[in-house]
Amino acid sequence: RTPQYRETRTFEFHDDGFRVRSSSATGEAKWSVVAKVDRRPDFYLMWVGPHHFHILPRAAMTEEQEGELDELFRRHVPAYDG
Strand partners, 18: 13, 29
* pTM, to two decimals: 0.86
**Closest to 70 measured CA to CA, from 54, 46, 47:** 46
- Burial label, 6 (beta-carbon count in 10 A; 0-12, 13-18, 19+): exposed
Express each pLDDT in 55-65 by its tens digit. Answer: 999 999 999 99
Residue 74, pLDDT above cutoff 80? yes
